[in-house]
A = this chain, B = another copy of it.
Amino acid sequence: MKAISKCLTCHVNQAQRILDKFVISEHEKWNILKKVLNDLSQLNYNLKPIDIAEVMYEKLENYLNKSDLYSEEKKKSNDAALSLYKDFKSRILDSSDPLYEAAKLSVAGNLIDFGAKKGSTEELFKQVIDIWNQPFSIDDFEEFKKSLFSSKNLLFIADNAGELVFDMLFIEIIKETLHDIEIFVALKGKPIINDATVDDGKYIGIEKFATIIDTKLKTAGASLPKSSEEFRRLFYDSDIIIAKGQGNFEGLSEESRNNLFFALVSKCEVISDFIGVEKNSKLFMNSKRIRQE
């Protein structure tokens, strides 16, 4: 999907939040923000939102001389989610439809997004639990399940750290349901915002249930032309795909392939309007629903 002017404004607000976090001197904040405004003022129309993020975060990291702007938040949200794993697994297994219940938790976990959201880790996790039991606004899960049962392999394109723990739980339940399915989980090569990296995957132990694939991407969402050969091959060859989050939606909404499911919370106005749902909707939808102009 194409970025619109609101995406530029959103990135200015993101830059401001990062400057407020790392820079003390108001004069320095002013000077760095001016550089960011200048960088953004040079971007051409027809970009995807993740292309704006790629440019802006790379520039900001240079200006701030930092390569991982959200390392603390990622660690904190991985640990917070891990501490809930056992309890959440029991709740899922006790439910009438564990697969569906796990999918709903995995999508609710998409709220954990420090690019789109302000607020503390604790508040975010409270919100995750709150919306876990809410129904999907677009619900293609039955269709997903049908395809899943005839699939030999599944590619899971992850989004954020913390959230990844709930994805792991979903993946575990898939494995418990279909013992022979092979699952690949695609993770970022390098840090971008709070996207889950290969290191996050290893940290939480996702390898017990799935093979880690390094997308080699440093974009806040999957961009096929920029990704690793391995990721691209799996994208085209896998029987079924789950792509989590807004960034992967932005990057892959124009791709046409069967059995590609977007699983996300629509956290911004631009994406919600594009899909045609209320902001903060929980979505599990077949990519066929998206018709790009």
Interface residues of A (CB under 8 A from B): 2-6, 8-9, 12-13, 15-16, 19-20, 26-27, 29-35, 37-38, 40-43, 45
Q: Which residues of B contact A27 (CB under 8 A)?
A: 45
Given the contacts A5-B29, A5-B30, A16-B9, A35 and B45 also touching, CB distance less than 8 Å: no
- Report the Cα distance A33→B32, complex, angstroms: 19
User: Separation in Å of the A247 CB from the closest CB of chain B?
Assistant: 20
**Which partner residue on chain B sits nearest A4 by CB separation?**
B26
Given the contacts A38-B38, A41-B38, A41-B41, A33 and B5 also touching, CB distance less than 8 Å: yes
- Report the Cα distance A80→B158, complex, angstroms: 52
Other than the given A4-B29, A5-B32, A30-B45, 19 more pairs (CB < 8 A) read: A4-B26, A4-B30, A5-B16, A5-B26, A5-B29, A5-B30, A5-B33, A6-B20, A8-B30, A8-B33, A9-B15, A9-B16, A9-B33, A12-B37, A34-B40, A34-B42, A35-B41, A37-B37, A37-B40
**Which partner residue on chain B sits nearest A45 by CB separation?**
B30
The 9 closest A-B pairs by CB, nearest first: A37-B41, A38-B41, A5-B29, A9-B16, A5-B33, A37-B37, A4-B26, A12-B12, A34-B41
**Which partner residue on chain B sits nearest A35 by CB separation?**
B41
User: Residue A8 contacts which of B3, B37, B41 (CB distance < 8 angstroms)?
Assistant: B37
Secondary structure class of chain A's binding surface, majority of residues: helix
- Report the Cα distance A6→B30, complex, angstroms: 8
- Report the Cα distance A43→B6, complex, angstroms: 22
**Which partner residue on chain B sits nearest A9 by CB separation?**
B16
User: Separation in Å of the A26 CB from the closest CB of chain B?
Assistant: 5
Q: Which residues of B contact A30 (CB under 8 A)?
A: 3-5, 8, 45
User: Separation in Å of the A279 CB from the closest CB of chain B?
Assistant: 15
Taking a contact as CB atoms under 8 Å apart, the answer to whether A19 and B34 are in contact is no
User: Separation in Å of the A118 CB from the closest CB of chain B?
Assistant: 13
Q: Which residues of B contact A9 (CB under 8 A)?
A: 12-13, 15-16, 33
User: Separation in Å of the A210 CB from the closest CB of chain B?
Assistant: 39
Q: Which residues of B contact A5 (CB under 8 A)?
A: 16, 19, 26, 29-30, 32-33
User: Separation in Å of the A168 CB from the closest CB of chain B?
Assistant: 37
Taking a contact as CB atoms under 8 Å apart, the answer to whether B31 and A45 are in contact is yes
What are 29 A-B interface contacts by the 8 Å CB criterion? Answer: A3-B30, A4-B26, A4-B30, A5-B30, A5-B32, A5-B33, A6-B16, A6-B20, A8-B30, A8-B33, A8-B34, A8-B37, A9-B12, A9-B13, A9-B16, A12-B12, A12-B13, A12-B37, A13-B13, A30-B45, A31-B45, A34-B41, A34-B42, A35-B41, A37-B37, A37-B38, A37-B41, A38-B38, A41-B41
User: Separation in Å of the A103 CB from the closest CB of chain B?
Assistant: 33
- Report the Cα distance A4→B33, complex, angstroms: 10
